[in-house]
Amino acid sequence: MHYFETGDLPHVTSDVDYFLVNPDGATGGLVLTNGLEVYFPPGFSANEVLAVVRAGDRVTIHGRVPRATSSLTAVTIETRDGKRLSSEPS
C-alpha cells in the first residue's frame, strides 16, 4: 500500500447528511449534504467514525477518487473540533 501526505489527496469539506449501511448492517460510508458519497476502505474503523461524527457535523475528508465516479474513498476524516480519524497507520 502507498501512503500519502494528506495534502496530496483530494478533499472536501461539507456537513454529514446520513450514514450508508451495507446489507450486513455495518456502516460502510456516509453521504455529505453536497451529495458526495464517501466510502470507508478496509482498515478504516467505522466504529471510531460513529463515535465522533454525527449527521449534521461539518467534516473535512481527504481521500481517493475512483475513476469515473462521483464518490470518494476516505483516507482521513477531520471533525470541526480537530479530531482526526485515519485509515493509514500513524
Q: Give the β-pairing of 37-39 and 71-79.
A: parallel
Question: How sure is the predictor about 42, in pLDDT bands with cuts at 50, 70 and 90?
Answer: confident
Question: How sure is the predictor about 71, in pLDDT bands with cuts at 50, 70 and 90?
Answer: confident
- In this prediction, residue 2 carries a pLDDT of 46
> In order of start, what are the domains of the chain with their CATH numbers?
6-86 (2.40.50.50)
Angle at 32 between CA 34 and CA 49, to 5 degrees: 160
- In this prediction, residue 88 carries a pLDDT of 67
Its pTM stands at 0.75
Check pLDDT > 70 for residue 82: yes
Q: Which of 5 and 72 is assigned the larger pLDDT?
A: 72
